[in-house]
Structure 1
Amino acid sequence: MRGLRAALRISRRTAWRSKGRSALILAMLALPVAVITFTLTAFATLYDMPPSQYPLGRADAVVQGAREWSGLSQNAWGETDSLEAGTKTTPYAQAEIAGLIPGSRLIPTSQQFLRYLAPGGYEMGYVRQVDLRDPMSQDTFRLVRGRLPAAPGEAVVSTRLDEQIRPGVTLLATEERRPLRVVGVALFAPARPEIVVFPGSLPDSTFGPADPQQVTHGWLVDAPRPLSWPDVRRLNARGLVVRSRAVVDSASRETRFNLKIDSSTLPALPWTGIALLQVVLAAGPAFAVGRRRRAREFALVAAQGGSPAQLRLIALADGLLFGVAGATAGAVIGVAAVPLAMPGLELWAETLVDSFTVPWISVALVAALGVAAGVLAALAPAVGAGRTDAAAVLSGRRERRRDRAGRPLLGAVLVVAGLTATAVSARHGIHLIAASALLTQLGLVALVPALVRAVGRAAARLPLPLRFAVRDAVRNRGRTVPAVAAVMTTVVVLTATGVALRASAISPLPFLRDLPQGPVGSLQISAADLTPQLWDRVRAAVVRELPAGVPLVEGRALATKTGVPLGVALPKPAKSENQGVFFMEGRSGGLLAGDESLLRYVLGREDPEAVAALRAGKAVVLNPSAVRKGRIRADVMRQDARPLNTPETISLPAVGVRPTGQGWARVVVAPEAAEKTGYVTVTTLLAVNPADYRMSQASADRIAAAVEAITPHAMVRLETPPGPVDDSVVLLVLAAAAAVLVLGMAFVATALAAAEARPDLETMAAVGAAPRTKRAVVAGQALVIALLGTTAGVLAGLPPGAAATRVPSGLYRPMMMVRPDGVPVIVHPRPPALLLTIPWPLIALLVVGLPLLAALGGAVFTRSRLPLPRRRVT
């Protein structure tokens, strides 16, 4: 231990003398730790409380209950599975609740998923009724703009609706259309509602019967003392579900400090290993140069009797010191940055944070990995320090080192094992592919010294700057190998990502690409829940852009008598037991009600027999096999999860008619026939049939702008034939990441190499080298490092990228695809060919562009004047 303290003291003094190199190493080690710690802490803080829980604010508890719930059981968070929702209950009155919790103050609160009318159409979301001005409601919201509701009929809306609903707008809620005037915009805690209204704005019947799974009718309680678990159990016996702050905080602490590591963390280990390898390789050259600069110090220790083990300990102390300092600083910065960034994070997540949560176990593990990265980065320089030739260093001569070529045999074995594991894991998951790629990268790192040595043999015929750069790289492999390996590991990840993303872009699987919504050349305006007045305005905006006489096709959907749209589930095709089924239904699919123009649009042709069946009140079914005994049956579902007052299954007389090509609905029925089932129809689709008029892109853009000014809920789409895959955005992002990472590491390694090559440059100046020679030498050093790393990285990144394109093995089996007209089609998808999935522009940038940019940067940012050799006084 005494030796370690002395080594750390030496390391600290040396680090203080070389402030620039020390800052660089600390940044390399602290930055990844800070980023990961910040991400873990931010997510733990944002998503610590389950979103289904009603926030407590400054209340001691939130309670709800009924006499019929007596003897219930719940957990610490107020969740119960011993009661079923929907049963008839007799809720407690507020005075009765106050009697069960003596000395308490209560305010009522209610919440329900409701449909309401906004200026842009109908919306659906949670509406809460509570007094936000009461102190118990504090910490459940943060007012962003406007003011709080102060009277019945006033409301604030969530920031999620801020772009659509502004203060001053009046909303209409419930079927009675009660007006709610928006007076403010707020950010809410988890279980966040879309609207919060002042008490008395909506009747209690709006929120439905008491529900044990959510607070439909409850009270916020300000108790004279915290409600303990025995108090909760006592109230459970009387039929109350209680969420107590004291109980929740106690349970959260127990859960938070549980040291058990779940098996779900295992998939993250390969990615953590890749990140750790990247940090070790990036920091390795800095430690290697530091060891070279301290060669005289090591020689003096050896001359005074220091053993190789003590020299290694002094060098390893650098890694330990920088690892501890960098990991500690990174962890502190990452954790401390979360509260500073929390206002912006809350707006991004659209939720108010209940409490600041730090996952200490995860933070400690990340910091430990940072320390391990520092020690591992200093390991190779420490081995070199233990072999210091004291006589050579103290006499001013270069040390004679053994010409080691790494571990080529071990590297070859690891590469073969990694490639084999990659091929095997291609069908088992992306995490196994990452683990296999990590094994391959470790093998390549062991092979890089041999690769650098092989390149040195071919440098004899190169120009002087390149010849010097290659031989300098070979002579100083302790610095060159980590730099090349760091570039290589980065390029491996970027290449594999590029191959996988391009494969998904050109994938033959139809559900991974944009599905057509109508015939080519058609224009569709679709919306699920607009008022008739808004549809009239949308229709007028479309007609203004159409030539006179061009008909507008209208599609309607089933709705309740109050106008609530309904979902219709049509019969599914028969399939084998293990066969997957994917429905390609778009927004215009399903059951549509309309006239002959809609039928012609859906079928793609004129069909007098189908028109006659439609006029006779029959449903036209585009998949004849779905017709049973001359009828079609369908299940009707209400989309707001409230029960229907009418039968949930309808049956219509039907006739089967096959479309021309692919149809664009499964069933077409006349509105009058649909209304005979007890429902009404509402508009959900307007379309321009390409057989009547082909819309230009400019006209479609004008219609889209006009419709967007009317309502944000309508979608305007011009159906165009599928074109070539456009993955330019993906390639641009990957190219930017490659430029920042690869060029950054290449410049750092080049700067270290140029600093170490100063005696050679002085010698060149002494023998008359031109001023531009230094620029050419530095450019050659950058080119060698970047070119070797990117070439090896691209070759190593192709196998895991190709394997990632085969990961979803079940998707490439034969499966049944149900078209929008309900016709099942058996497809046999195959993964795209490897040559098609290679992003050639990205590969060209990595192998050609970035090395040339690195060389250009090295030449531009290097002073051309060569230093003169210093005279030694003897």
Structure 2
Amino acid sequence: MKGVRAALRISRRNARRSKWRSALILAMIGLPVALVSFVLSAVFGPGPMPDHQRYPLGQADALVTGAHEWASLTQDAWGQQISWDGARKQTPFTQAEITALLDPGSRVIPVAQADFRYLTPEGYWMGQIRQVDLRDPMSRGTFRLTEGRLPAAPGEAVVSATMLGSDTAPGVTLFAGEERRPLRVVGVALFDLTGIPPDLTVFPGSLPDSAFGRLDPTLMSHAWLVESPRPVTWADVRRLNEHGLVVVSRAVIDGIPPDEPSWAGPSLPQIAPWVGIMLLEVVLLAGPAFAMGRLRRSREFALVAVQGGSPAHLRTIALADGLLFGVAASVLGAALGVGAAWLARPLLEQRAGYLLGPFAAPWAAVATAAALGVVAGLLAALAPAVAASRTDPVAVLSGRRERGRDRAGRPLPGIVLVVAGTAATIVSAGHELGWIATSALVTQLGLVALTPALIAAVARLAARLPLPLRFAARDAARNRGRTAPAVAAVMTAVVALTAVGVTWQTRLAEGPDYVPDHPQAPAGTLSISGQDLTPELWDRVRSAVRGELPARVPLVEARMLATKSGVPAYASMSIDAPANEMELPDVSMSGDLLVGNEDLLRYVLRREDPRAVAALHEGKAVVLNPAVIRQGQVRLDLAAGPGPDDSQSLTLPAVGVRATGEGWARAVIAPEVAAKNGYGTVITMLVVDPADFRVPRATADRIAAAVERISGKATVRLEVPVAPGNTMLLVVLGIAAAVLVLGMTFVATMLAAAESRPDLETMSAVGAAPRVKRAVVAGQALVIALLGSVTGVLAGLAPGIATARHPAVHQVVILRKDGVSAIVQAGSGPAFAIPWALVGLLVVVLPLLAALGGAVFTRSRLPLPRRRAT
């Protein structure tokens, strides 16, 4: 122990002397620990959200709702699994009646919440509106005001941060419900995620109680928050159940042991390969820095050796660096990560759009990350420590170069690991990512073992190269203990970047994964969609579009069914589809039915069809999938609201007509048919048919800008085929590659330049020009970066291809020939796609930049050799 304490004191003293090197090592070890600690604290730090509460209790002791007809009901502790007689008649409790049933001194305030259709300056919106007094202490903890003030009178509201926009900002007046009650937005708030977070929260009295729907014990749309002088126990809950009240009590819920989490996180086999890759990268990153420290302290090690220090003592002194830096960096990194997660909570909440749970750092996971950082520090210092234990004191103190052992690594085990890892990567394609990462880690370990042999092979091939490159290659082979970790570190980073690039490029080549990225209309179509706009806004949009189009260009109008009050009614038809496909709304967002004239029908069918036009004029539905027609009729299920009472059905005479090519709707009817069946219509889309006029891109941009100024709820789209680009891929991976590859190469080059100083002095003595030193250092950087990049690119292809073929990402949305959107399995893309631009960046650009940086940041004047006393 005394030897360890002395070694730690020596290490601490040298750390103070070499502040820049110490800071570099601390960053290499501490930043990964800080990143992992931040992610763990940010993701798992907030306490679990209660799954069973329907409304956040805040500072209230209980939440109650009920009616006189619900007497003798039963419930569970969460206010669910309610058993009652289901009587249609309801006589809700009044505030005085509820207060009388509670303990003396109790206080209650009303709360209600339901779905509302409300009007904004840019159009309609459907969302949850909560009615409660947020100023009351019982509401504390359910929200956090971020802008403006709280509602203080009927007709005032705060908007949720997730719904904040130009049409819902403070100062805007909204109109909610059938009666169009005005609601003036006075603030913005973040809300608790318990239950269903509201879009708007209004002051009591802003909306009538009848607007929140029918009283139902399973919904709690009408309830009361309770402040009690004592906790509400389970006995109190059962007593109140006898009177017909459903109760959610804080005391009861807090007394229940928490459920087992539904997701316990990744298992050890899934997380182990990623931990191994992180450790390997940190070890390879920090290894050259520790090697540089050993080189600078070689005289110190020699003095200890000549004074009786054994190889074990020298090894302990060198390992103390790893222990000291590992502990310091891990503790600082863990504290930085946890502290950053705590400080970032307001920003995380703002980005998430809701309040996070109480902060509780996952100390066990953070401690594990810190322990891994300490292990990484010790492993990084292990090879330099072994080299320090072999210090030749005579050579060091006399100023001569130490004779190193010419090791070629362990090629046979390395070859075995590379072959086994590559084969396992090929086999793991289509399986979990954990297996692919494990296979890639095995391959990486094999390549690390092969790196010294690769360096030796490169040195033998460099005989015909110019002097700087020949010297750099032979110097790398002569000092493999210093060069191999640097090359392996570059290689490991490039493997990860190449694998990500191949996966990304393959996904791009396979086609888009989302509906908006697929064709939404015939090529060349200009469409303006948005079923939530008012008629006045549509008139303004129509005028703006016509102002940019040539005269006589028809503007096709597509409508959808609506109730007499103007609420859109979404239509759906039963369709015979394979079991592995899921029905989705059509691209017009109108359900399965469009309402319009023969111009719309021609656009949908992509041809003139007199039979279909005649059927439309006869009052029949023109259906693009005849399979849904039964006995000459089609049945439409209509939904005009969120509740089951808002659902209706409509049966119409129909005729089946197949579209030419893709069908861009499911069914079309005339406006007169909608009026005959008691329905109105609202505009859902305006279309410029490419058969009439192909809108230029510049005109479409002007139309989009004009429509955006009118309403943010209208979407302008010009249907043109756009090839998927990989610009984002190059930017993200290019920045990561530049930081990792250039950073590691510069550290290794500094170490190589320091060790090759005697050779450079000899060159100067025999008449070498000043630029030779720059050329030699540039060659050393080029050899390290090029060897690591080329090997990494070749090794990264296999895991990249295996990850790209993962089945979980092969579900894409397409439009079938009958106009039905469906999720299908993708497999028509290429087996893999190589991002050649990224490969060129890694193999050509970055090595040349590393060589240029080595030449620029190196002094050109060579030092003369010093005469040493004999």
Q: Same fold (TM over 0.5)?
A: yes
Q: Report sequence identity in percent.
A: 62
Structure 1 residue 860 corresponds to structure 2 residue 861 = no
2:708 counterpart residue number: 708
Question: Given residue 645 of structure 2, which amino acid in structure 1 is its aligned partner?
Answer: L
Give the 3 Å change call, closer, same or farther, for CA 581–734 of structure 1 in structure 2.
Answer: same
What residue number does 1:801 align with?
800
Match of 2:201 in 1: 196
Q: Is the 8 A contact 1:129 1:197 kept in 2?
A: yes
Distance 1:811 1:168, change over 3 A: closer
Identify the residue that residue 655 of structure 1 maps to in structure 2.
655
| Equivalent of residue 818 in structure 1, options 803, 816, 819 | 816
Assess, with a 3 A threshold, how the Cα gap between structure 1 residues 313 and 678 changes in structure 2: closer, same or farther.
farther
Deviation at 1:581, TM superposition (A): 6.1
Does residue 830 of the first structure (1) align with residue 833 of the second (2)? no
Question: Residue 263 and residue 66 in structure 1: after superposition, are their counterparts in 2 closer, same or farther (change >3 A)?
Answer: farther
In structure 2, list runs of 5 or more residues that go unmatched. Answer: none
Flag the 1:189–1:87 CA change in 2: closer, same or farther, 3 A.
Answer: farther
* Cα distance change of structure 1 residues 548 and 120 upon mapping to structure 2, 3 Å threshold: same
Q: 1:533 to 1:87 in 2, by over 3 A?
A: farther
Cα offset for 1:742?
Answer: 1.3
CA contact (8 A) 2:557 2:596 kept: yes
Aligned with residue 114 of structure 1, among 91, 113, 116: 116
Q: Please state how far the C-alpha of 1:530 moved relative to its aligned partner.
A: 1.8
Q: Any idea what the Cα deviations from partners look like across 1:732-783, whole Å, max 9, x if unmatched?
A: 2221221122112212222232233333333333333322222112211111
Q: Deviations over 1:33-72 (max 9, x none)?
A: 1122112212234674258753344444444455637564
> What corresponds to 1:840 in structure 2?
836
* Distance (Å, rounded) in 1 between the aligned partners of 2:150 and 2:814: 54
Match of 2:440?
A: 437
**2:226 alignment partner in structure 1:** 221
The one of 158, 169, 174 equivalent to 1:171 is 174
In the TM superposition, what is the alpha-carbon distance from 1:248 to its structure 2 partner? 6.0
**Cα gap change, 1:178 to 1:266, in 2 (>3 Å):** farther
Equivalences for residues 660-671 of structure 1 within 5 A = 660-671=660-671
User: Would the aligned equivalents of 2:82 and 2:218 in 1 still touch at CA under 8 Å?
Assistant: no
- Please give the secondary structure, in 1, of the residue aligned with 2:645: coil
In structure 2, what residue type is equivalent to 1:143?
L
Deviation at 1:11, TM superposition (A): 2.3
Amino acid at match of 2:442: L
Q: How far, CA to CA, are the matches of 2:639 and 2:508 in structure 1?
A: 35
SS at match of 1:267: helix
Any idea what SS the aligned residue of 1:644 has? Answer: helix
In 1, distance between residues paired with 2:85 and 2:265?
Answer: 33
Determine the structure 2 residue equivalent to 1:38: 38
How far off is 1:121 after superposition?
A: 0.8
Counterpart contact for 1:590–1:820, Cα < 8 Å: no
SS of 2:753's equivalent?
Answer: helix
> How much has 1:553 moved relative to structure 2?
0.9
Distance between the aligned counterparts of 2:72 and 2:263, measured in 1? 36
Which has the larger displacement, 196-205 or 230-239?
230-239
C-alpha distance in 2 between matches for 1:212 and 1:438? 55
The residue that corresponds to 2:162 in the other structure is 160
Report the equivalent of 1:393: 396
Q: Which residue number corresponds to residue 616 of structure 2? A: 614
CA pair 399-183 structure 1, distance change in 2 beyond 3 A: same
Cα contact 1:585–1:820 (8 A) shared by 2: no
Q: CA deviation at 1:526?
A: 0.9
- Structure 2 CA distance, aligned partners of 1:248 and 1:142? 24
Output the amino acid matched with 2:530: A
Change (3 A) 1:119 1:379: same
- Quote how far apart the aligned CAs of 1:286 are: 0.8
Provide the C-alpha distance between the structure 1 equivalents of 2:866 and 2:84, rounded to a whole number of angstroms: 89
Separation in 1, partners of 2:162, 2:278: 36
Aligned length: 862
Secondary structure of 1:556's aligned partner = strand
Q: Deviations over 1:462-492 (max 9, x none)?
A: 2222222222222222221111111111111
- Distance, in Å, in 2 between the alignment partners of 1:282 and 1:831 is 38
Name the CA distance, whole Å, in 2 between partners of 1:225 and 1:347. 35
Report what 2:15 is aligned to. 15
Partner Cα distance (2:160, 2:571) in 1: 31
Residue 753 of structure 1 aligns with an amino acid whose one-letter code is A
Structure 1 55/787 Cα, relative in aligned 2: closer, same or farther at 3 Å?
Answer: same
Q: Deviations over 1:352-390 (max 9, x none)?
A: 344323122221121122112111211222222333334
- Mapped to 1, the partners of 2:87 and 2:822 lie a distance apart of 42
* Distance of 2:864 and 2:361 partners within structure 1: 55
Q: In the superposition, relative to structure 1, how do residues 232 and 737 fare at CA in structure 2: closer, same or farther (>3 Å)?
A: farther
- C-alpha deviations, 1:279-327, integer Å up to 9, x for none? 1111111112222223333334444444434433332222122111111
1:465 equivalent in alignment to 2:468: yes
The 3-state SS of whatever aligns with 1:629 is coil
In 2 relative to 1, CA 474–111 (structure 1 residues): closer, same or farther, beyond 3 Å?
Answer: same
TM-score by length of 1: 0.91
Partner of 1:749: 748
Report which stretch shifted further, 863-872 or 489-498: 863-872
Measure the CA separation in 2 of the matches of 1:84 and 1:767: 102
CA contact (8 A) 1:276 1:369 kept: yes
2:591 is equivalent to residue 586 of structure 1: no
Partners in 1 of 2:4 and 2:232 — Cα distance? 54
- Once the two structures are TM-superposed, the CA of residue 230 in structure 1 deviates from its matched residue by 6.9
Gaps of 5+ in 1: none
Q: Structure 2 matches for 1:23-102, cutoff 5 A?
A: 23-45=23-45, 48-50=48-50, 54-65=55-66, 68=70, 72-75=74-77, 78=78, 80-82=80-82, 91-98=92-99, 99-102=101-104
Q: Kindly state the Cα deviation for residue 86 of structure 1 after the two structures are TM-superposed.
A: 8.4
Whole-Å separation in 1 of the counterparts to 2:286 and 2:823:
56
**Residue among 628, 635, 642 paired with 2:637:** 635
Q: Which residue is 1:378 aligned to?
A: 381
Alignment of structure 1 residues 342-741 onto 2, 5 Å = 342-507=345-510, 514-575=517-578, 580=581, 585-587=586-588, 590-638=592-640, 640-645=641-646, 647=648, 649-720=649-720, 722-741=721-740
Offset, 1:231: 6.3
Q: 1:632 to 1:137 in 2, by over 3 A?
A: same
The answer as to whether partners of 1:160 and 1:350 remain within 8 angstroms in 2 is yes
Give the direction of change, closer, same or farther, for the CA distance of 1:228–1:377 in structure 2 (3 Å limit): farther
Q: Closer, same or farther in 2 for the Cα pair 1:861/1:231, shift >3 Å?
A: farther
The Cα shift of 1:178 comes to: 0.9
Distance 1:823 1:216 in 2: 35
Within 1, Cα distance between the matches of 2:504 and 2:386? 41
CA shift in 2, pair 1:140/1:286, >3 Å: same
Aligned residue for 2:128, secondary structure, equals strand
Instruction: Report the alpha carbon displacement of residue 623 of structure 1 after superposing the two structures with TM.
Output: 2.3
Structure-2 change in CA distance of 1:627 and 1:83 (3 Å): same
Letter in 2 for 1:535: W
User: In structure 2, what is the Cα distance between the partners aligned to 1:177 and 1:823?
Assistant: 35
**Which residue does 1:140 correspond to in 2?**
142
Structure 1 residue identity aligned to 2:632:
G
Deviations 1:703-723 (A, max 9, x none): 111111111111111112x24
Query: Which shows bigger deviation, 550-559 or 258-267?
Result: 258-267
- How many Å separate the matches in 2 of 1:297 and 1:85? 89
Deviates more, 1:727-736 or 1:840-849: 727-736
CA contact (8 A) 1:817 1:826 kept: no
Superposition TM-score, scaled by structure 2 size: 0.92
Structure 1: which amino acid aligns with 2:588?
Answer: R
Instruction: Indicate if the aligned counterparts of 2:583 and 2:822 stay in contact, CA closer than 8 A.
Output: no
1:777-788 aligned at under 5 Å gives the runs 777-788=776-787
Counterpart CA distance in 1 for 2:839 and 2:613 is 57
